[in-house]
């Protein structure tokens, strides 16, 4: 087989996927109609055309604006089910998906509405698609730490439905240490820990250092800037910290500066995985992300296999599934 066919066929695991980032324009319009919300665009094409972005902050504007159409439990169910169907078609067998409860509670949608809708989709996907999914709750780092702590407390009745916590949204001026207490409490509650150290954010090497030493993360989302610091890089390798890299969103937002980063991380012995981040916005689901890496730096079948395996290796799988996938 050629490499592209192998990429399409290999069983995959996705670890860095914002479920709100899978909200396709067509679904935005369908949910708006269903919920009686007026949109200032005629259709999905116009909306996309008139919502350009060039960096993390400008991306987040459209991302939060569009998700206002998510209101009912059924909306969250439909959002997740659409992603699960697409992912399964690309041979994703296991996914740990991020959700941003504060993006919804901050506009009056109840925490339980979000959780019940997502959970029901997870349960149905296991039955109808044989796709296994775990939920990771992300705190929005541009809100105060107290709001994150309150959200953590609100999650405790749903503890069994959530495998871990993460940190996302606008990183500028919002370092990991801002959430030291929140993550310590999350750890004490049994959650596993990850956080975004987005590419080329101001202070990114300090943020990675804090995530490792102060927070004690189990994984890092993005984190490709470790390539600039040999000591940090060696530590990530030695501690077996997984980096969930997103080849398309990296390139899309920042130009080509980080082309080839995935391969360089792989060659250095980092447990790097390939992920799609916000596929509805960056125009590529998981197979497309692998193909992007292959286009940047040609991969052998063995390297594709290692990248796919790294994701399962650094996933937070229950023991029964570990033995099934590894
Ligand atoms: N929220 C959704 N996608 C994100 C990303 N790539 N970085 C930070 N916050 C996000
Ligand atoms: Zn992300």
The pLDDT score that the predictor gives to residue 216 is 98
The pLDDT score that the predictor gives to residue 292 is 96
Burial of 190 (0-12, 13-18, 19+ CB in 10 A): exposed
Q: What is the mean pLDDT of residues 76-95?
A: 98
The answer to whether position 10 is within a domain reads: yes
Residue in 138, 211, 278 to alter for ligand 1 test, most ligand atoms within 8 A of Cβ: 278
Q: Which atom of ligand 1 lies nearest, measured to the CA of 100?
A: 1
Q: What is the mean pLDDT of residues 255-268?
A: 91
> Which run of H or of E encompasses 82?
helix 73-89
The pLDDT tens digits of the residues spanning 99-143 come to 999 999 999 999 999 999 999 999 999 999 999 999 999 999 999
For residue 212, the 8-state DSSP code is: I
> What CA–CA distance (Å, rounded) separates 164 from 159?
9
Q: Which residue numbers belong to the known binding site for substrate?
A: 278
Q: Let me know: does 272 contact 245? Beta carbons within 8 Å.
A: yes
CA distances from 313 to 128, 225, 234, 318 (A): 25, 22, 19, 12
The pLDDT tens digits of the residues spanning 134-170 come to 999 999 999 999 999 999 999 999 999 999 999 999 9
The pLDDT score that the predictor gives to residue 39 is 95
The answer to whether position 58 is within a domain reads: no
- From the CB of 251, is ligand 1 less than 6 Å away? no
Residue 150's domain spans which residues? 3-24+73-316
- Closest residue to atom 1 of ligand 1, CA basis: 169
Beta strands in 6-48 (DSSP E): 12-14
Q: With bands split at pLDDT 50, 70 and 90, how would you rate the model's confidence at 261?
A: very high
**Sign, CA torsion 22/19/126/285:** positive
The answer to whether position 41 is within a domain reads: no
- From the CB of 279, is ligand 1 less than 6 Å away? no
Q: What is the mean pLDDT of residues 291-298?
A: 96
Counting the structural domains of the chain, the total is: 1
Q: Which ligand is closest to the CA of 63, given by its number?
A: 1
- From the CB of 277, is ligand 1 less than 6 Å away? yes
Q: Let me know: does 163 contact 134? Beta carbons within 8 Å.
A: yes
Please give the structure tokens belonging to residue 154: 């609100």
DSSP string, 126-181: HHHH--EEEEEEEEETTS-HHHHHHHHHHHGGGGGGEEEEEEES--TT--GGGGHH
Q: What is the mean pLDDT of the chain?
A: 97
Please give the structure tokens belonging to residue 184: 């310590």
CA distances from 63 to 73, 161, 179, 307 (A): 19, 25, 23, 28
The answer to whether position 295 is within a domain reads: yes
Q: Which atom of ligand 1 lies nearest, measured to the CA of 198?
A: 7
In the chain, what percentage of residues exceed pLDDT 70?
A: 100
The pLDDT score that the predictor gives to residue 253 is 72
Q: Residue 91: which residues within 8 A CB-CB, separation 6 or more?
A: 8, 9, 10, 11, 12, 287
The pLDDT tens digits of the residues spanning 296-325 come to 999 999 999 999 999 999 999 999 999 999
Rg of the chain taking only CA atoms, in angstroms:
18
**Is 69's pLDDT higher than 90?**
yes
Q: Residue 263: which residues within 8 A CB-CB, separation 6 or more?
A: 293, 296, 297, 299, 303
The answer to whether position 216 is within a domain reads: yes
Helix axes 247-254, 286-296, angle to 10 degrees: 70
**Is 189's pLDDT higher than 80?**
yes
Q: Residue 73: which residues within 8 A CB-CB, separation 6 or more?
A: 113, 116, 117, 120
The helix/strand/coil state of 16 is coil
Q: What is the mean pLDDT of residues 13-35?
A: 98
| Domain of residue 119, CATH code | 3.20.20.140
Q: How close is the Cα of 138 to the center of ligand 2, in Å?
A: 10
Strand ranges of the sheet holding 271-274, from the earlier edge strand across to the other edge:
12-14, 92-99, 132-140, 162-168, 192-197, 219-222, 242-245, 271-274
Indicate whether this complex's ipTM tops 0.95.
yes
**Is 252's pLDDT higher than 90?**
no
The answer to whether position 253 is within a domain reads: yes
The pLDDT score that the predictor gives to residue 1 is 74
The answer to whether position 40 is within a domain reads: no
The pLDDT score that the predictor gives to residue 161 is 98
> What CA–CA distance (Å, rounded) separates 167 from 190?
17
In angstroms, the first-to-last Cα distance of the chain is 22
The answer to whether position 211 is within a domain reads: yes
């Amino acid at each position: 087989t050629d490499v592209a066919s192998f990429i399409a066929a290999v069983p995959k695991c996705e670890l860095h996927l914002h479920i709100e980032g899978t909200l396709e324009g067509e679904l935005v319009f369908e949910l708006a109609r269903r919920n009686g919300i007026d949109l200032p665009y005629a259709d999905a094409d116009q909306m996309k055309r008139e919502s350009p972005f060039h960096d993390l902050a400008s991306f987040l504007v459209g991302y939060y604006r569009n998700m206002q159409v998510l209101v009912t439990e059924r909306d969250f169910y439909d959002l997740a089910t659409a992603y699960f169907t697409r992912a399964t078609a690309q041979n994703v067998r296991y996914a740990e998906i991020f959700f941003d409860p504060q993006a919804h509670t901050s506009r009056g949608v109840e925490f339980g509405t979000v959780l019940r809708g997502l959970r029901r989709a997870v349960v149905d996907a296991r039955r109808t698609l044989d796709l296994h999914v775990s939920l990771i709750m992300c705190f929005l780092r541009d809100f105060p730490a107290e709001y994150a702590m309150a959200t953590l407390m609100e999650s405790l009745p749903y503890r069994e439905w959530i495998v871990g916590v993460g940190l996302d949204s606008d990183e500028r001026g919002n370092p990991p240490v801002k959430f030291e207490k929140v993550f310590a409490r999350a750890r004490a509650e049994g959650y596993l820990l990850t956080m975004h150290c987005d590419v080329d954010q101001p202070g990114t090497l300090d943020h990675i250092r804090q995530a490792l030493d102060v927070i004690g993360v189990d994984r890092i989302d993005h984190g490709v800037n470790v390539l600039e610091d040999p000591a940090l890089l060696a530590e990530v390798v030695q501690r077996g910290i997984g980096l969930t890299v997103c080849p398309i969103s990296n390139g899309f937002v920042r130009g080509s500066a980080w082309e080839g980063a995935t391969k360089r991380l792989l060659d250095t012995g980092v447990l790097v995985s390939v992920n799609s981040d916000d596929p509805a916005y960056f125009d590529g689901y998981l197979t497309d992300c692998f193909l992007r890496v292959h286009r940047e730096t040609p991969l052998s079948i063995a390297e594709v296999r290692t990248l796919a395996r790294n994701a399962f290796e650094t996933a937070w799988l229950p023991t029964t599934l570990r033995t099934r996938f590894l």
